[in-house]
Amino acid sequence: MKKLINAPDAVVKEALEGMEAAHGDRLKITYEPAMIVRADAPVQGKVGIISGGGSGHEPMHGGFVGRGMLDAACPGEVFTSPTPDQMLEATKAVDGGAGVLHIVKNYTGDVLNFEMAADLAKGEGIEVEAVVTNDDVAVQDSLYTAGRRGVGITVIAEKICGAAAEEGKSLAEVAELCRQVNGQGRTMGMALTACTTPAAGTPSFDLGPEEMEIGIGIHGEPGRFREPLGSAAQVVERLATAVVEDLPYQSGDNVLAFVNGMGGTPLIELYVVYRELHKFLDGRGISITRNLIGNYITSLEMAGCSITLLKLDDELTRLWDAPVDTPALRWGA
């Protein structure tokens, strides 16, 4: 295992300390329980938004805390759900009187723990709504999930809901928007290589030198197909066909196209993938009117990519374009 770390069991805590040292002017970091919180939280009268999940997917979620996106994130250990007490404390930390939205990726542990936290928060008089994202079209059930996994759309939902909350929308409105984004979004991913958790020290699965895995999850869960290594065009054909036909996205649609790297894939390759995706969608009469290209929801050092599409309307486009000021996504601010 070759990693820039000190001790496997200290990675999450030490990365948080790095975030605190780097971004302490705009983020509050706590360790017991572990949370990344907007420095100015709670914002009175604004709906608070929190998310969380296992670490190892950086910058998601901690890198998305800030004005116009999340109010707090709860990092678990690597590929391990955070605990209900983290989520409860985060909920309390960001409640400005207008209630709190939990954006939850569909993994069994995350869902159960967020449910428990929501119940506890409600017991303390905080209004909570939860939206579970489940945009991964690859498989119905998988290693950590009943139903579809929540993946790339989560990043987009956090941005769009963050903008709506910043504008003063109500909890019911922000939650409904989150359901809409999830409903109009689809994702599929693939891997060229496995990844190694610090605790395990060996790769989570084996992929031969001439193999790739199509439809993989963000923890290396098995996908749809293991097949011979293909070209970027073949990979995009596989992923984008499954994504487009699932909703389906149709001729005349405007979409946000999100080409995401899994952590170990360099940007030059993601632009080759984007080229293929643009051609593919163009051939179906689907217009990319917004895009995001980079490593945003990752699986440690896994090489590979995912493709997320979100069907846009004017309102979603406006909220996507609104200012955001977080360590990992920043514009207009």
Query: Binding string, 9-38, against its own copies, x = CB under 8 A?
Result: --xx-xxxxxx-xx----------------
What span, in angstroms and rounded, lies between the C-alpha atoms of 271 and 280? 14
CB of 94 to its own copies, least distance (A): 22
Q: Which of 165, 305, 307, 309 binds its own copies (CB under 8 A)?
A: 305
CB of 249 to its own copies, least distance (A): 17
The smaller minimum CB distance to its own copies, of residues 182 and 295, is found at: 295
Number of residues that bind its own copies (CB under 8 A): 60
Q: And the tokens for 293?
A: 């290209």
Q: Binders of its own copies among 93-112, rule CB under 8 A? A: none
Report the SS3 class of residue 129.
strand
Cβ-based neighbour number of residue 4 at 10 Å: 5
- Asked if residue 297 lies in contact with residue 260, where contact means CB atoms within 8 angstroms, the answer is yes
What is the b/e burial string over 284-305, where b = at least 16 CB atoms within 10 angstroms of the residue's CB? Answer: bebebebebbebbbbbbbbbbb
Would you state the torsion angle of the CA atoms of residues 34, 37, 43, 49, taken in this order, to the nearest 10 degrees?
Answer: -80
Kindly state the DSSP code that residue 47 receives in the 8-state scheme.
P
Verify binding: residue 209, its own copies, rule CB under 8 A.
yes
Is 278 a residue of the active site?
no
Q: Up-side HSE of residue 156: CA atoms within 13 Å toward CB?
A: 36
Query: How wide is the angle at C-alpha 23 spanned by C-alphas 127 and 88, nearest 5°?
Result: 25
Q: Binders of its own copies among 33-92, rule CB under 8 A? A: 55-56, 58-59, 63
Verify binding: residue 268, its own copies, rule CB under 8 A.
yes
Is 102 a residue of the active site?
no
- Asked if residue 60 lies in contact with residue 155, where contact means CB atoms within 8 angstroms, the answer is yes
- The residue ranges that bind its own copies (CB under 8 A) are 2-7, 11-12, 14-19, 21-22, 55-56, 58-59, 63, 192-193, 209, 212, 229, 231-233, 235, 263-276, 278, 288, 291, 293, 295, 298, 300-301, 303-305, 327, 330-333
Residues labelled catalytic? 57, 219
